Amino acid sequence: MSSAATEHPPILRSYASAALDRLAGWFFALPPERSAYTLRPLTIPLPDGVSLAADLYWPDGALPQPLGLVLVQGCYGRAAPFSFTVRVLAARGYAVLFVSTRGTFGSGGGLDPGRSEKADAQEVVRWMRQQSWYPGQFATAGASYLSYTQWALLHDPPEDCIASAIIAGPHDYARHHWGTGSFRMDRITWSDALVRQEDAAATRLYSAVSQAIFGASDIDNVLMGLPVAERVKEHFGDEAPWLPKAMSAPDVCDPYWAPTRHQMALDKATAPILLVSGWYDPFAAQTLEQYVRLRERGCSAALTVGPWTHVQAAGLKCMPDMIRFLDEHVARTAADGEMHRGRAARIFVTGAEEWREMSAWPPATTSHELYLHGDKSLTTERPPVDAAPSSFTYDPADPTPTIGGVQLSNGGRVDDSIYASRTDLLVFTGSLVEEEIEVLGKPAIRLAHSSDIPFVDLWIRLSEVNTAGVSHNICDAFQALDPERDPSAPVQLTLQDCAHVFRRGTRIRLIIAGGSFPLFARNLGTEGNRTVGSEMRAARHTIQHMAGSTKLVLPVAADGGDPTGAS
């Protein structure tokens, strides 16, 4: 094993690292280790004069040669906790090239998240092919941003890339920022963490002192302030220059976003792909889109969706899946009874609280319609033609709060009962479920909706009220409505995918609001880019019920559809 770009001799795995590796393997029920490993720091030169810092992990001892080579590229550094995945793979016989993306942790150039990964990844692969240790083919792996870098590479997939394990990550950066018509505010908190990540100890101390004295962190004040764009500039100064640019480009088709959109990868990728996400992962919608598109093209695509947040899905919970996948498609050591996936989708069904193997997602379903009534009930009966409407007022000065759901942090399945006591939204609750209702796929809602001003958003949540009367979230939808829409036409929205069983004695709940803050930048009720405005106007929303004009449609398991088996 040699390379002209080697800067240091190999570093043997320490006893402390070995202990941590084995503890992680035990805790997450991973296959046993196959080898020890060494780490060799490298520098990868790029044609534009920038060099990327990398570490090459190499199995050592028990194996005559590595089972395969895995490329991992990310922006969060190469130490723990982000090295855990790499170390787990190296201890199970895989060589791993772990690269820090441009502008991070020893890699040269300026950091501009999402924009250079496509070109840089191709150059990393060209360099890798020239090394004496290169085995002639490789796989990719990684979670979150380390998944985005894989899609950037697969925009023009190398022929020698034979498999990809893509965990909880997007392929379209623009849609994540502005796909709903409102700016995702977690891009601000994420950017704040990104620019301070290489001085983590000082950042933690600063944040703790600030919160203790002022009751809120600086970044919380940025999110609450108006105009948001000005508060961002004041907070970051010359740091995070990408953020003002992203906030000033609300059109996802703006040329600014072109380098960050990798839909083409879904149409070009041919090697086997493992996709993993969680029902409360903000990237779950794109993960499921990736799976459907790859399956439509006949690609070998396996899907795992757990009851996880982003952090849980991106952590070591997915490692048993990843190792089996790589053993089958890269090392080709899996015996017939140890193949990664007998069927294509492994889905956790909430409510039933069980894993199910499915041949595809979504499975066959039929429609179950529930109508919204003026008394805030939710039933299978249509309201009369003279049914009175329901209304609520959304005030951007006191925005409806985000509670749980698909946040980058602080998300997940939570008690959202507090929504029922708020007056700035509508809550519709069904009667006790008498026979189990199994929802598999995307719920949809048709709203006979109007507002007294054209600049409004809608946030929809499907929840379950359990037998103790406590409400918990299942899935959401958010959309900024077109101010030039036809007010007489119903609003049709699709919620995020879910797999949930409403058991006997529970109740179905639907929540309708005019915002979800601070997850999404609040609609100020005025024209123009909401991130640069400061004037606010409250909006009155009205929902018509007459003759069943507003309804919720649940995709329920079809009789004789995809057979499933609990595991």
Q: What is the pLDDT along the chain (567 residues), one digit of tens a residue?
A: 444 444 578 888 887 888 888 888 888 888 888 889 999 999 999 999 999 999 999 998 666 789 999 999 999 999 988 899 999 999 999 999 999 999 999 999 999 999 999 999 999 999 999 999 999 999 999 999 999 999 999 999 999 999 999 999 999 999 999 999 999 999 999 999 999 998 865 555 445 444 443 344 689 999 999 999 999 999 999 999 999 999 999 999 999 999 999 999 999 999 999 999 999 999 999 999 999 999 999 999 999 999 999 999 998 888 999 999 999 999 988 665 555 554 589 999 999 999 999 999 999 999 999 999 999 999 999 999 999 999 999 999 999 999 999 999 889 999 999 999 999 999 999 999 999 999 999 999 999 999 999 999 999 999 999 999 999 999 999 999 999 999 889 999 999 999 999 999 999 999 999 999 999 999 999 999 999 999 999 999 999 999 889 999 999 998 644 433 444
Q: Which residues have C-beta within 8 Å of that of residue 240, sequence separation ≥ 6? A: 191, 192, 194, 195, 232
Specify the 3-state DSSP secondary structure of 355.
strand
Residue 321 tokens read as 């899946």
Cβ atoms of residues 310 and 280 within 8 Å: yes
Interacting residues of 381 by C-beta distance below 8 A, sequence separation 6+: 371
Rounded Cα–Cα distance for residues 260 and 118 (Å): 8
Task: Provide the phi-psi class of 61: left if phi over 0, else alpha when psi is between -120 and 50, else beta.
Answer: left
**Residue-level pLDDT at 435:** 95
C-beta separation of 513 from 443 below 8 A: no
Claim: this prediction has a pTM higher than 0.85: yes
Q: Note the pLDDT of residue 567.
A: 41
Whether omega before 227 lies within 30 degrees of 0, making that bond cis, reads yes
Q: Which residues contact 144 (CB under 8 A, 6 or more apart)?
A: 167, 168, 169, 283, 310, 314
Domains defined for the chain, CATH in brackets: 11-176+262-342 (3.40.50.1820), 184-249 (no CATH), 365-558 (2.60.120.260)
pLDDT computed for residue 559 by the predictor: 67
